[in-house]
Amino acid sequence: MDKIEQPLSFCITLCSRQRPVLLRQCLSSLEQLVIPENTKVSVLVVENNETQQYREILSEFGKVLPLTHVLEPRAGLTYARNKILDTLSEMQVDWMGGVDDDQIIDPQWLVHMVAAIRQFPDTKTFVGDWRRAIPRDIPYWYPVLNKPQNLPTGALLREGASGNTAIHASVFCPSGMGLRFDMAYNFLGGEDTDFGTQYLNKGGKIRFVAGARTDEDIHEPRASLKARLERMSMSEFILAKVRHRRKSAISAWGWTLQILYRSTVFGIGNMLLAGITLPFRERFAMKRYGMALKFFAKIRGLFWYYSGKQPEQYRNIDGS
């Protein structure tokens, strides 16, 4: 006899602040989602603003989506993400789907997420395939921010994120793990990485879902060389902060020294290789130069953290 799948409730959530164009694009993609059998789906939008500015947009999409709109007047990603968790705890759903307001969600996204949930009952957090599209005229040698995960569904991951995830309610409900996003990351970013680390420290598993794809366009200002390198430095800054907050001092410092050593060796090595090969292999040399800049950006991020720098990369609104 065929196995009868138990029904589950799945709420797709996102938070947004003064980005109506991007929000409309994201909701339009959610409208195209294929809904698996025995799955009840809803959508929650937390507007991170002092007053409601999305009323008209959400009223429009509320006609085609089972949509809930909640206001979080305190500015900052952490406030908005915790508002999502508090609201879902009251709604008593089984699973939270996390996407970002600047993502386009593939129509088969939910099909793949639900299939993975049913295939791996030992796992409470899943991360999908997050792709970034950069402008075509960006020089080929610019360092890559991140590469698409080339992993099979079910592969175990060492960190999580909030854009393109599925998280079981027991992870954040008070009767379960009761996890929350840490206010130390409110305008910094990285609160999702910290959340995933908390979950892993409690023995949780994070698995990759290959078919659950979202796409994000990187607009011109964020695609510049300066912006890319600053983002890489910020990423290393955040990882250092997470390690020192969630791991032992010995482990945190051990990771730092290892990254500092590797980045220095590979940074200098790639720079020297670029200089040697530039006269007769320009494309190869420029690629090496881009890699060197990436390693040096990591070093800069570590120095930012240990020098006491307090960046707030999400203080200003990026996008429209």
Categorise residue 223: left if φ over 0, alpha if ψ from -120 to 50, beta otherwise: alpha
> What pLDDT is stored for residue 147 in this prediction?
63
> What pLDDT is stored for residue 132 in this prediction?
81
User: Are 169 and 96 spatial neighbours (Cβ–Cβ below 8 Å)?
Assistant: yes
How far from 60 is each of 31, 57, 163, CA to CA, in Å? 12, 5, 24
> What single letter denotes the amino acid at residue 298?
K
> What pLDDT is stored for residue 4 in this prediction?
58
Q: Is 1 exposed, middle or buried, given 0-12, 13-18 or 19+ CB atoms closer than 10 A?
A: exposed
> What pLDDT is stored for residue 1 in this prediction?
42
Q: How far apart (Å, rounded) are the C-alpha atoms in residues 223 and 88? A: 35
List beta partners, residue 71: 47
Instruction: Per-residue pLDDT tens, the chain, 320 aa: give them.
Output: 445 578 899 999 999 999 999 999 999 999 999 999 999 999 999 999 999 999 999 999 999 999 999 999 999 999 999 999 999 999 989 999 999 999 999 999 999 999 999 999 999 999 999 888 777 788 989 988 766 668 999 999 988 777 899 999 999 999 999 999 999 999 898 999 999 999 999 999 999 999 999 998 777 667 789 989 999 999 999 999 999 999 999 999 999 999 999 999 999 999 999 999 999 999 999 999 999 999 999 999 999 999 999 888 777 767 67
Q: Which residue has the tokens 């195209």?
A: 32
Condensed to tens digits (0 to 9), the pLDDT of residues 221-244 reads: 677 899 899 999 999 999 999 999
Residue 20's nearest CA partner among 68, 61, 66 is 61
